[in-house]
């Protein structure tokens, strides 16, 4: 694929299903990865497995993205550990599903804080060293539902749609400094969460997808690895939809 040799990356939500696939994809192309998440034990176990499977000198940085102070400390901690940051992947996210009329303020606020506001703060902080280096790759993981909507997920869809608009704006601001900002929007991806669905539920989901199957985490990782590469230098402000044709968006 594309070589990321000599590049340092920070991936949030790195111990989750999609996050771990993204981190592995970057590591396999030669990047050194700072794995971030709120569960230190899971991060540690994944880091050890990643080094065993792929090799490299990867690190873990525990961070609760709901805590503004910890968010502000994450980029400096990454710079202290890795020395530089070439790639930022904002992948971490939560859901607090409810119908709009029943949605509590806390359910709205938590999702916006972690899925949208923390990404803004990390992009803002990472841009400074990237601008000095005149190189950077920012990749935000959105979702197909950020473009289509989904009942019971007003908060999540708003955050993902907001992330897309924010990425486009930022891409225009930093393009002249050699920094790109793009989104990858997964559809239904096979994870531990979807594996818990029964056969009927999985069949119903697959029936909505022209390819007839859910995606794999590695397929999201591949899209991220491409956008992180030097070869993707002329692509910015774009959203790569990886959804098996479920929503064919322009």
Which one, of 182, 142, 183, 144, lies nearest residue 159 by Cα? 142
Average pLDDT over residues 47-70: 96
Residue 12's contacts (CB-CB under 8 Å, 6 or more residues apart) are: 19, 36, 37, 63, 65, 74, 89, 90, 91, 92, 118, 122
CA-atom Rg of the chain in angstroms: 17
Residues 6+ apart with CB under 8 A from 65: 12, 38, 71, 92, 113, 114, 118
Residue 247, in any domain of the structure: no
How does residue 20 score in pLDDT terms, banded at 50, 70 and 90?
A: very high
Domain count of the fold of the chain: 1
Q: Is residue 3 part of a domain?
A: no
Residue 108 located in a structural domain? yes
In the residue annotation, 234 being an active-site residue is answered as no
The reply to whether 1 falls in a domain is: no
Whether 133 maps to a domain, the answer reads: yes
Render pLDDT for 111-163 as a digit per residue (tens, 0 to 9).
999 999 999 999 999 999 999 999 999 999 999 999 999 999 999 999 999 99
Sign of the C-alpha dihedral computed for residues 92, 32, 229 and 181 taken in this order: positive
Average per-residue pLDDT in the chain?
96
- Outline where DSSP puts E strands in 169-237: 179-186
Q: Provide the residue range defining the domain that includes 154.
A: 8-240
Is residue 249 assigned to a domain? no
What lies within 8 Å, CB to CB, of 102 at 6+ separation is none
pLDDT of residue 250: 72
The CATH number linked to 158 is 3.40.50.720
Tens-digit pLDDT profile for residues 231-243: 999 999 999 999 9
Q: What is the pTM of this model?
A: 0.95
Q: Could you tell me which of 15, 53, 55 has the C-alpha nearest to residue 31?
A: 55
Round to whole Å and give the CA distance between 15 and 35. 8
CA 184 to chain centre: 8
Q: Is residue 100 part of a domain?
A: yes
**Residue in 46, 135, 156, 226 annotated catalytic:** 156
Tell me: the pLDDT tens digits for 193-233?
A: 777 788 898 999 999 999 999 999 999 999 999 999 999 99
Give the containing element (helix H, strand E) for 140: strand 136-141
């Amino acid at each position: 694929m594309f070589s990321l040799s000599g590049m340092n990356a920070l991936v949030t939500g790195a111990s989750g299903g999609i996050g771990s696939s993204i981190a592995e994809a970057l590591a396999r192309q030669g990047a050194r990865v700072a794995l971030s998440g709120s569960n230190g034990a899971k991060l540690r176990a994944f880091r050890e497995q990643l080094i065993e499977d792929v090799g490299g000198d990867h690190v873990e940085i525990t961070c609760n993205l709901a805590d503004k102070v910890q968010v502000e400390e994450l980029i400096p901690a990454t710079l202290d550990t890795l020395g530089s940051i070439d790639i930022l992947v904002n992948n971490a996210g939560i859901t607090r599903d409810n119908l709009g009329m029943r949605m509590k303020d806390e359910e709205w606020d938590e999702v916006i804080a972690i899925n949208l506001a923390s990404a803004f703060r990390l992009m803002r902080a990472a841009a400074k060293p990237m601008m000095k280096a005149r190189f950077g790759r920012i990749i935000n993981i959105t979702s197909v539902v950020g473009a289509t909507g989904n009942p019971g997920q007003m908060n999540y869809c708003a955050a993902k749609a907001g992330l897309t608009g924010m990425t486009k704006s930022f891409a225009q601001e930093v393009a002249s400094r050699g920094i790109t900002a793009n989104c990858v929007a997964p559809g239904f991806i096979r994870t531990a969460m979807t594996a818990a669905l029964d056969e009927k539920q999985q069949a119903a989901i697959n029936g909505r997808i022209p390819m007839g199957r859910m995606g794999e985490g590695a397929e999201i990782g591949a899209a991220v690895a491409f956008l992180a590469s030097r070869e993707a230098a002329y692509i910015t402000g774009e959203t790569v939809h990886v959804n098996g044709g479920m929503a064919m968006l322009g």
